[in-house]
């Protein structure tokens, strides 16, 4: 629903002046000859009317021309002797002279008034159009839309066949085209401000018409407004870039310190355990030795998980997190992760609810990592012997996986934030795990979110879209077991 900006042309076209100047007296003459008035007064009135009509329709010049032509026609056709420019009667001389003076004055005054009015209307509409352009250019709307709307308003206002804007600022370029770019001679207007030139505006009038001087001025003003919009966009982008850069470097610093911390913690445990084992001055009991060795084992697993997540994070940052997609059965990935993590999951009670699901186009290694991260968090926040539920089920055109624990839960206001890398300090690297998980799920065209679990706790779910919908067997399989 574009606003309408139709502008009357500021100047009446020459063709219209000529046609009106000839047509108005010609019609009056025709009527006069048809009616054959008894007295000259009738013919005189007809021609006076023609003068007013010409002035109203085509302005002052037409009014004056119609006066002169009317005077000649009256003289030739209606004063005796007929069909000559001689005037026999003295009364006729007075009448004709009066007609000429009155007609000239009327044509001049009416024509000027009409022209003034047209100009005023146009000026007002021009002002409105430029005001619209100014508001648009500073509106903060997307550049493409601003430029497109302005091109549309110009097409409407100037009754153009088409209008095209080609401009670029920085590494942004924008092209907008409204209407058809064929017709009369195209008018090229540079989009520039001060020294800088950003592109050009091309206005194509209708076939046979050309862009008038008034219209050209208006196009130039509009082009300046587009330049303003471009500069604003470029400034906005610079500000946003600067802000983003600041945030990035802040995040990088936080990430760096957190990664260092998270890497050192397991290393410290490993080193402490191994040096204890290597001590020669104390004899450790066999179960103490086993404890220390188990510490080493658990901490190397933790390091391995952490390194996996850091690697993925590096891929995310480099924009290189591209899933190696293949037809993947999510329930099989769940099964495999539970099997691999059996030792780690021994301190909780794991229940799986697996319904028949179609295969999804996914990278099984990355989905494995998401599940590992979610289960890792669930175990970490679960009370001893707490229940962790893993469910896999079809959901519309996706497969939904949910991992539910009965830990302390995440308050609603933090449920978005926990997916940001290191948003909540380092809870054993879980912040990183969720951030990576989200990146992976998004790379698969899915989504991931947190809800509260019924009866307290956290339910993290993610959806993976199904590429090819296989027939879904709705037989529900509920398997229960200690993993």
Partner 1 sequence: MTTVLVVDDEPQIRRAMRTSLDAHGYEVRAVGTGEEAVLSAAEQAPDLMLLDLGLPDLDGTDVIRRVRSFSDVPIIVLSVRDRQADKVAALDAGADDYVSKPFGMEELLARLRAALRRRAGADEPLPTLTFGNLTVDLARRLVTLDGERVHLTRTEYALLEALVGDPGKLLTHGWLLRRVWGPGYAEETHYLRVYVRALRRKLGDEAAAPRLILTEPGVGYRWIAEPG
Which is nearer to partner 1, 115 or 376 (by Cβ)?
A: 376
CB closer to partner 1, 50 vs 390: 390
Tokens 């028949």 locate to 356
Closer residue to partner 1 (CB): 79 or 366: 366
Q: Residue 35 and residue 43: Cα distance in Å, rounded?
A: 9
User: Between 233 and 373, whose beta carbon lies closer to partner 1?
Assistant: 373
Residue with Cβ nearer partner 1 (204 or 370): 370
Q: How far is the CB of 336 from partner 1 (least distance, A)?
A: 5
Least distance between partner 1 and beta carbon 415 (Å): 29
192 φ, ψ (degrees, to nearest 5): -145, 155
Cis bond upstream, residue 81 (ω within 30): yes
Tokens encoding 128? 């409105």
Beta-bridge partner residues of 349: 387
H or E element, residue 297? helix 286-317
Minimum Å distance from CB 328 to partner 1?
6
Residues 6+ away with beta carbon under 8 Å from 397: 465, 466, 469
Closest CA to 482 of 337, 351, 381: 351
Distance (Å, whole) CA 58 – CA 15:
10
Where do we find the tokens 């091109």?
151
Cα R_g (the chain), whole angstroms? 42
> CB of residue 455 vs partner 1: minimum separation in angstroms?
23
Q: Which is nearer to partner 1, 29 or 483 (CB)?
A: 483
Tally: H helices and E strands in the chain: 10, 12
Q: In the bound complex, what is the minimum distance in angstroms from residue 311's beta carbon to partner 1?
A: 8
- Residue number, 252 or 482, with CB nearest to partner 1: 482
Parallel, antiparallel or unpaired: strands 447-452 and 196-204: unpaired
Least distance to partner 1, CB of residue 387, Å: 14
Instruction: Say how many C-beta atoms besides its own lie within 10 A of residue 424's C-beta.
Output: 13
CB atoms within 10 A of CB 234: 17
Q: In angstroms, what is the minimal distance from the CB of 395 to partner 1?
A: 19
Alpha carbon distance, N-terminus to C-terminus of the chain = 61
Report the residue number, 214 or 298, with the smaller CB distance to partner 1: 298
Give, in degrees to the nearest 5, the angle at Cα 332 between 330 and 335: 115
In angstroms, the CA 249 to CA 281 distance is 49
> Whole-angstrom Cα distance, residue 301 to residue 210?
78
For partner 1, give the closer residue by CB, 262 or 331: 331
In the complex, which residues of this chain contact partner 1 (CB under 8 A)? 297, 300, 304, 308, 324, 326-329, 331-333, 335-336, 338-339, 350, 352, 354, 358-359, 363-365, 367-368, 470, 479-483
User: What minimum distance in Å lies between the beta carbon of 402 and partner 1?
Assistant: 16
Q: Which is nearer to partner 1, 65 or 483 (CB)?
A: 483
State how far the Cα of 306 lies from the Cα of 266, in Å rounded to an integer.
10
The least CB distance from residue 381 to partner 1, in Å, is 22
Instruction: Give min distance, CB of 352 to partner 1, in A.
Output: 5
Integer Cα distance of 302 and 289 in angstroms: 20
């Amino acid at each position: 629903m574009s606003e309408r900006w139709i502008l009357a042309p500021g100047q009446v076209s020459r063709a219209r002046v000529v046609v009106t100047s000839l047509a108005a007296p010609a019609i009056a003459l025709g009527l006069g000859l048809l009616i054959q008035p008894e007295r000259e007064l009738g013919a005189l009135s007809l021609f006076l009317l023609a003068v007013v009509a010409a002035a109203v329709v085509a302005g002052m010049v037409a009014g004056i021309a119609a006066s002169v032509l009317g005077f000649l026609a009256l003289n030739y056709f209606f004063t005796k002797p007929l069909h000559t420019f001689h005037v026999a009667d003295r009364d006729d001389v007075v009448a004709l002279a009066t007609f000429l003076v009155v007609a000239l004055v009327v044509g001049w005054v009416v024509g000027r008034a009409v022209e003034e009015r047209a100009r005023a209307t146009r000026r007002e509409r021009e002002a409105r159009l430029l005001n619209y352009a100014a508001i648009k250019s500073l509106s903060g709307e997307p550049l493409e839309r601003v430029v497109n709307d302005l091109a549309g308003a110009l097409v409407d206002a100037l009754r153009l066949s088409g209008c095209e804007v080609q401009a670029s600022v920085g590494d942004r370029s924008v092209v907008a085209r409204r209407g058809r770019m064929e017709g009369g001679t195209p008018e090229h207007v540079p989009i520039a401000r001060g020294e800088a030139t950003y592109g050009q505006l091309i206005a194509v009038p209708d076939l046979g018409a050309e862009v008038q001087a008034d219209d050209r001025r208006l196009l130039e003003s509009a082009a300046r407004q587009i330049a303003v919009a471009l500069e604003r966009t470029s400034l906005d982008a610079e500000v946003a870039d600067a802000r983003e850069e600041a945030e990035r470097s802040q995040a990088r610093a936080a990430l760096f310190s957190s990664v260092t911390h998270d890497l050192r913690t397991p290393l410290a445990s490993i080193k402490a355990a191994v040096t204890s084992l290597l001590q020669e001055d104390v004899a450790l009991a066999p179960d103490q030795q086993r404890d220390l060795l188990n510490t080493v084992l658990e901490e190397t697993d933790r390091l391995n998980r952490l390194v996996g997540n850091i690697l993925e994070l590096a891929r995310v940052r480099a924009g290189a997190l591209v899933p190696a997609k293949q037809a993947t059965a999510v329930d099989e990935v769940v099964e495999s992760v539970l099997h691999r993590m059996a030792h780690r999951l021994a301190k909780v009670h794991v229940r799986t609810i697996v319904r028949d699901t179609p295969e999804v186009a996914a990278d099984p290694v990355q989905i494995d990592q998401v599940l590992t991260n979610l289960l890792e968090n669930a175990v970490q926040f679960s009370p001893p012997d707490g229940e962790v539920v893993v469910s896999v089920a079809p959901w519309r055109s996706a497969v939904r996986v949910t991992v539910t624990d009965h830990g302390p839960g995440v308050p609603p206001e933090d449920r978005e934030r926990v997916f940001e890398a290191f948003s909540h300090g380092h809870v054993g690297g879980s912040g990183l795990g969720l951030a990576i998980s989200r990146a992976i799920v998004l790379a698969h065209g899915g989504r991931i979110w947190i809800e509260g679990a019924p009866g307290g706790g956290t339910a993290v779910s993610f959806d993976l879209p199904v590429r090819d919908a296989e027939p879904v067997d709705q037989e529900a399989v509920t398997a229960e077991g200690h993993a």
